Homo-oligomer: A and B are copies of this chain.
Amino acid sequence: MGKQRITLSGNGRTLVLNNPVLTASGTFGYGLEYTPFGNLASLGGIVAKGLSLLPRQGNPMPRIAETPSGMLNAVGLQNCGFDEFVKRKLPKLPHKDVPVIVNLYATSPAEFAELAGKLAATEGIAALEVNISCPNVKEGGSSFGQSATMAAKVTEAVVNASGTLPVLVKLSPNVTSITEIAKACEGAGATALSCINTVTGMGVDLQSKRPLLANVIGGLSGPAIKPIALRCVWEVTRAVSIPVIGIGGISTPEDVLEFILVGASAVQVGTANIALPDAAFRIAEALPHTMHKYGISSLDELRGGLKI
């Protein structure tokens, strides 16, 4: 077991992870919030909260709600903006010991390119992750991730602006065919795909007759969506040849291995960090033992090895 380094290579760029267990954007703050609960360098990588060029205050409250085995959120990409991130967050992260991946949020391909360019010129960033679930403000507000053409445009913009930095593209499950979008992003130069972002949902409070989220609609995450995420990873890994990072409802080391079994190269832990602050650390630490328990000698051997 021991060394579990994971290499993600695609379209000529490469990202090396400490191990297959990363944290998912928006559920792990800037990483610093979790230093009391574990050693950041023990993680496969850290994906920071979605970053935009300028600071954003996000959506009004309430922004989060519990649902059966899951949660809804409409935080609305509140973040400190590029400058503050580079000045005050990044320097405190152990970026020499753990890959720091920045999740990007913008509302047009040009804005994505600008942000990617600035990040590429910054020391200490291991990769970019493009959140294509952002609304395409120029073209009516439906998300980039819901059209193959737009997803490819955004991917290309970021790839072109980011030099040799690996570019992950984070897919939305809220589409008729996720493989179509995945192929478009692969074609546009993505290094790897992160799969999946939250599922669109909503909740209401019968007493007050109001939505549970001020934004009405939000993103569903947590164990409830694990079956959807597994299906997406399964479909996408069979449709593209770049690596895929599995995300969705992972809260145990067994969950990690399930995602790898269906084809993922690595995973991100999201909502589980909110439920218990040592979740990602605990899962990363327990993985070798769990592999041993299931007689799995290497992740490469397990990967995509589903018997059908």
Which residues from chain A sit less than 8 Å from chain B, CB to CB?
A: 67-70, 72, 146, 174-177, 199-204, 206-211, 216-217, 220, 222-228, 230-231, 234, 249, 254, 257-258, 261-262, 294, 305-308
Contact = CB atoms under 8 A, between A and B. Distances in A.
Contact of A231 (B202, B206, B222): B202
A161 B208 CA distance: 45
Chain multiplicity (copies): 2
B227 A261 contact: no
B67 A226 contact: yes
A308 B69 contact: no
Contacts of A307: 208-210
Contacts of A223: 67-69, 224
A201 B175 contact: no
A197 to B, nearest CB: 14
A294 to B, nearest CB: 5
Contact of A70 (B177, B200, B227): B227
A303 to B, nearest CB: 11
Best-surrounded residue of A222, A224, A308 (most CB of chain B within 10 A): A224
Given A68-B224, A225-B224, A227-B70, A202 B262 contact: yes
Given A176-B146, A306-B210, A204 B230 contact: yes
